Structure 1
Amino acid sequence: MNTFDIQTNKEEFIRIYKENIHREGSEELLKWIEKTDFFTAPASTRYHNACEGGLCAHSLSVYHTLMDKHFDEETDDIESFTISSLLHDLCKAEFYTVSMRNSKNEETGKWEKVPYFTIDDKFPYGHGEKSVFLIERKMRLRLDEAMAIRWHMGGFDEGGGFSISQAYDKYPLAVKLHLADLESTYLREKGTSEVNKR
């Protein structure tokens, strides 16, 4: 099973957040995040980083991918890039729960109860739009940041229609965040979903 150094990732997340985000409400938002399970939650139930600490690890991966591949010091704003990448999946805080199921132990041949992650969405407001909503309860987003977070899932999100295309055409940050999320999920984090394959 893939595991992450939860404390180290939390410290890195908070350091980057505080270094790069200075907008009104950012401190209140961070305090709220720290009260949730954001730093210990998985990023998914089975697709990538499906283990404790996976959500924070994924957020950091998207941040580093976005900065490494798409940040231009002359034209891009580091605060916007940081907000968009670190907070794009804020909707997954308080979203998962741990349940138990029977699984056959391959070594002993015996059935055992093993933990697995399942979804328990107490606030079913969508995906990207839910992240935007949660952020804006404490801190205002710029339009390009809101569009990037809303459409970071691209065609994997429901109900996009022509809106995704229009958002990508008007807001380069939305395209860049989507590409960083794809690369992080399908290339950099490949093989990190073992927890639910048992």
Structure 2
Amino acid sequence: MTPNQEKFIELLKQVERPGIDNLCSYMMKDTDFFVAPASATYHGACEGGLLDHSLAVYDNLLVLANAFFESYDHQSLIVCALLHDICKTNFYRRGYRNRKNEQTGQWEKIEVYEIDDKLPLGHGEKSVMILQRFIQLTVDETMAIRWHMGGFDDAARGYAGAQCLSNAMKNHPLLVALHMADMATCYFTGK
């Protein structure tokens, strides 16, 4: 196990809920979580990118929680930060594309990640569904994970969806903090 894998499991085991051990076992045995990329072409588009991204979101969420909340349940911060993108497990496959080499002008075959979505349920909602097979989420955690993409979520682009997102953000500050931590991780650190 790598140091990041150990850190991830150690943090997750701090969550004292029925089913957390089954969730850890599922993630280690039945998913590619620890080697999956965080995206196909953007942040963390490399082996282990999803793990690195999740740990970086956790670090950023702690900073935001300490800055903006008098207190917040640490277990909720762990669950939201580490598991918000569990929907990306078993989601990518390796493929090949041709790319023109700028120096030689020759076409080269390069390895890339391609999306292979076998459970097309969306993004945040899929993460919530997967998690609730193993652990009970609080309403705040559910809202934070469901809407962590903020306005980038396709469901938020229409009027009704934008209203849902706005109401969720007003009533669940953990959602705003998770969204900010996720964006900071993607755009400030590239993870």
Q: Does 1:171 align with 2:165?
A: no
Provide the aligned C-alpha RMSD in A: 1.7
Mapping for residues 8-157 of structure 1, pairs under 5 Å: 8-18=3-13, 20-35=14-29, 36-71=31-66, 74-106=70-102, 108-157=104-153
Residue 41 of structure 1 aligns to a residue in which SS? coil
Measure, in 1, the Cα distance between the counterparts of 2:128 and 2:28: 18
TM superposition score normalised by structure 2: 0.91
What is the Cα deviation at residue 109 of structure 1? 4.6
The equivalent of 1:195 in structure 2 is none
Measure, in 1, the Cα distance between the counterparts of 2:106 and 2:167: 54
What do residues 61-84 of structure 1 show as CA deviations (whole Å, max 9, x unaligned)?
100000022237852000000000
What is the Cα deviation at residue 107 of structure 1? 5.1
What is the Cα deviation at residue 13 of structure 1? 0.9
TM superposition score normalised by structure 1: 0.87
What is the Cα deviation at residue 108 of structure 1? 5.0
Quick one: which amino acid aligns to residue 75 of structure 1? Answer: S
Quick one: which amino acid aligns to residue 80 of structure 2? Answer: S
What is the Cα deviation at residue 104 of structure 1? 3.2
Whose RCO is larger (CA < 8 A, sep 6+)?
Answer: 1
After TM superposition, the structure 1 stretch with the greater mean CA deviation from structure 2, 58-67 or 107-116, is 107-116
What fraction of aligned residue pairs are identical, expressed as a percent? 49
What is the Cα deviation at residue 57 of structure 1? 0.5
Query: Unpaired runs of 5+ in structure 1?
Result: 1-5, 193-198
What is the Cα deviation at residue 31 of structure 1? 0.6
Quick one: which amino acid aligns to residue 30 of structure 1? Answer: C
Quick one: which amino acid aligns to residue 96 of structure 1? Answer: Y
What is the Cα deviation at residue 188 of structure 1? 1.5
Measure, in 2, the Cα distance between the counterparts of 1:76 and 1:182: 20
